[in-house]
Structure 1
């Protein structure tokens, strides 16, 4: 890697690039995770007790999750809901990505991409709060449905996980569209035409030609969407009802309301382990490596 950078940029600039990458990895990725693991293995003690007899490594913070049935159910619900968000985002994003890459003219693709990107110039909390207004009991969506005669009375969209799922699909759709779009764009259009000319239906063409070529992009989009959904706090906090708590809200409570950073670190590390396991599973299912995802 360094030799390739040296040939392209020269020695001084290559050293600077490698040094910046090392600082970023060590200072912003590795050290915070190590500190979190260290916190998670220590009991929550008073300042005067730190360094004393009770200040020893223990797995009790991890055992708390498995002994607390409410937190454990929220943990599994968060993982399942994140998988569902990933699937729904993929279903919405794939047709749009194919249209942008292979069907739309350059002018149409540019306009569509602009319309997708402009809302993301606004802060995520404001975008999420706009969905809170849209999905409210007396919001514009219910007013429209009532006006069209599709419903007899307003629907409580925010009473369960429905509002959270909608908000997350909207919030993370670009993280799914762009990797798939980049993968499909590199596909030779003649392969699609050849499949159609040989009598393959559109469904079979996508299954046998387009999707195998776009696997790295699909895997990247799924990984990014799942990790963002599993680690989201703003969307479930604004769009979720009291009975639809997210695991990140439990972690937040441990840190900032309960004051137990050790317990919060243990919960956060368990969530990180699940996310890493999901990445490995997706890579195995799509049969792609880290090099394919990093393209």
Structure 2
């Protein structure tokens, strides 16, 4: 704050801070406050809102868990979708980490400096296209008579076309592709700061490559892994376009359930409660990742 005033002067710095505060208040704080207010009220007709029946309640939050019978294995549909979203987002995060780690290592330490810029540009260029267009491109690729099935049939890897869009496969592929760069760049930034002499010393002592990465590179890259995991999980859990386009009725995402309660069910209180439950899930995941990797906010900010 002090540096801002020293750099831009009192008037300009005050205007910048005021504009930022107004933007955060209008675009972030107030909408969340309105949704929080909605989430604690019953869904009543407009004429009854504000009347004696309009009282604060936790029923909208409890509705997600009502009807659970673990003994008989019965779970309500919305709760099944919630669990599917947790599992799917976690799997997308893991797949992104597995795919990105060798590429990030190559770009950060193995590739020649003149090649790094070109390789990063090739990674970024596809993401200059709108997310909706990229998602529909995957819809065409994964279609029953699409290019992917045609290629696999031509190579003899399939006897008949596979229905990629009838299960969770298409959603996982689309989400991994959509959010992979959010794992890639934190990993690259973290690995770049590693002193390569540590790796060379381990090689001179006869350590195999897998042990070098397990004992040296991965521990050093923990902040990057934590940041990438947080960003990919949060974006995957809150995604709507990818599961809506590439999914099927049996693979509905929790964001789609929220949309249904808001706009098809016209139950804004329950939709708001579900949105805050999803927000709470993301917060729990962030705190869990920070604890597992033993990193703090300062490490993540690097």
Q: What range describes the TM-score normalised by the shorter chain of this pair?
A: over 0.9
Aligned to 1:77: 84
**Alpha carbons of 1:242 and 1:290: their partners in 2 closer, same or farther (altered >3 Å)?**
same
Task: Find the aligned partners of 2:94 and 2:235 in 1 and give their Cα distance.
Answer: 13
Query: Could you tell me which residue of structure 1 aligns to residue 58 of structure 2?
Result: 59
Aligned partner of 1:136 in structure 2 is 143
Q: Does 1:201 align with 2:200?
A: no
Q: Which residues of structure 1 form unaligned runs of 5+?
A: none
- Does residue 118 (structure 1) correspond to residue 125 (structure 2)? The answer is yes
Match of 1:186? 193
1:166 paired residue number: 173
Q: How does 1:78-97 map to 2 (within 5 A)?
A: 78-97=85-104
Return the alpha-carbon distance in structure 2 between the equivalents of residues 94 and 178 of structure 1.
Answer: 10
Partner of 1:288: 295
Equivalent positions of 1:3-42 (< 5 A) are 3-42=2-41
1:19 deviates by: 2.7
State the 1:291 CA deviation. Answer: 1.6
Question: If the length of structure 2 is used for normalisation, what is the TM-score?
Answer: 0.93
TM-superposed deviation, 1:61: 0.8
**Aligned-pair CA distance for 1:285:** 0.5
Superposed CA offset, 1:40-66 (max 9, x none): 001112221121111111111111111
State which drifts further: 197-206 or 221-230.
197-206
SS where residue 63 of structure 2 aligns? helix
Q: TM-score, normalised by structure 1?
A: 0.95
Distance in 2 (CA, whole Å) between partners of 1:292 and 1:129 is: 37
Give structure 2 stretches of 5+ with no counterpart. Answer: 68-75
CA separation of 1:273 and 1:151: change in aligned 2, threshold 3 A:
same
Who is 1:261 aligned against? 268
Q: Distance in 1 between matches of 2:109 and 2:12?
A: 38
> What CA distance in whole angstroms lies between the structure 2 residues aligned with 1:9 and 1:101?
36
